[in-house]
Homo-oligomer: A and B are copies of this chain.
Amino acid sequence: MGTRKKGLEFAKHITEIITKATGFERHLEKVQITGGGDGICTAEFKVGPEHLNRGGGLHGGYTATLVDMITTYALMSKPCHPGVSVDISVSYLKGAREGDDVVIEANTIRAGRTLAFIDCILKHKKDNSVIAKGSHTKYVNFE
């Protein structure tokens, strides 16, 4: 199976997971998984009113939620157990406003026997400027 086809299969699989989500994960309902596989997951969404803080910018908690989830999807594409979170860190570089198109890219830097390390970046689609970057360390050892 080609890389592009694998990416589409992966995107379809994750989209189904999001569609069926009942808990906090349902807040990714407007996030479109665009590709992935081999430790990577890419996604896009348009900032909506439900994603904003009081100042009218993309909410830092929603950004952190996206870092948490898109890195987890990336890890699941290894394929690998989704694991449990150990540490998440997020840096906020630039704002985003309602209507902005945001591209998300998560990349598994290392998935060891017990720990996995996945990076994530959120960028403006219009100019590739970085909105936020995050790191997620997960415990994956469930032998």
Contacts and interface: CB of A to CB of B under 8 A. Distances in A.
Interface string A70-85: 0000000000001011
Interface in A31-54: 49-54
Q: Kindly report how many copies of this chain are found in the complex they form together.
A: 4
A51 B68 contact: no
Contacts of A53: 23-25
A139 B117 CA distance: 14
Given A23-B51, A53-B25, A117-B93, A86 B137 contact: yes
State the main secondary structure of chain A at its contact with B. Answer: mixed
Interface in A44-69: 49-55, 57, 59-62, 64-66, 68-69
A103 to B, nearest CB: 15
A62 B92 contact: no
A92 B89 CA distance: 11
Nearest to A92: B85
A117 B88 contact: no
Interface of A: 17, 21-25, 27, 49-55, 57, 59-62, 64-66, 68-69, 82, 84-95, 109-110, 112, 114-115, 117, 119, 129-130, 133, 135, 137, 139, 141
8 smallest beta-carbon distances between A and B, as pairs: A61-B65, A23-B52, A64-B64, A24-B59, A89-B89, A60-B85, A61-B68, A85-B92
